[in-house]
Amino acid sequence: MRERTIYECEHCNKKKLINKTQMKKHENMCWFNSKNRTCLTCSHYEYEPGYLEPHPELDGCPCERVEAIRYCYLNDTQLDKKPIINCKDLREKEELM
């Protein structure tokens, strides 16, 4: 059995790598890193996950997929899947995820 060291991103806690250099690269561009000033670390950002909405009135009760909503309250706009980086209007969240 081999013993290995695994590095985990301290910002998103999702990404795991065995290469320390690659992890440092990831952390520098991670969307959850407050230094990158992205929507995900902003108090103006709101996220509602997607879901399946059943339609029992139709035969077989098919489901309609409702996409996730990413929204900026400051600009009153719906955002793309990728967050804005280096936002000039960013206001830090009190608690990050």
For residues 42-58, average pLDDT: 88
96 pLDDT band, cuts 50/70/90, is very low
Cβ of 90: how many Cβ atoms within 10 Å? Answer: 19
Among 24, 50, 32, 46, smallest CA distance to 96 is for 32
pTM (global) more than 0.75: no
In single-letter form, the type of residue at position 6 comes to: I
Judge whether residue 31 has pLDDT over 90. Answer: yes
Q: Compute φ and ψ for 71, nearest 5 degrees.
A: -135, 140
pLDDT(97) > 60: no
What residue ranges do the domains of the chain occupy? 1-36, 38-90
Enclosing H/E stretch for 29: helix 20-29
* Residue located via tokens 């013993």: 3
96 or 52: whose pLDDT is higher?
Answer: 52
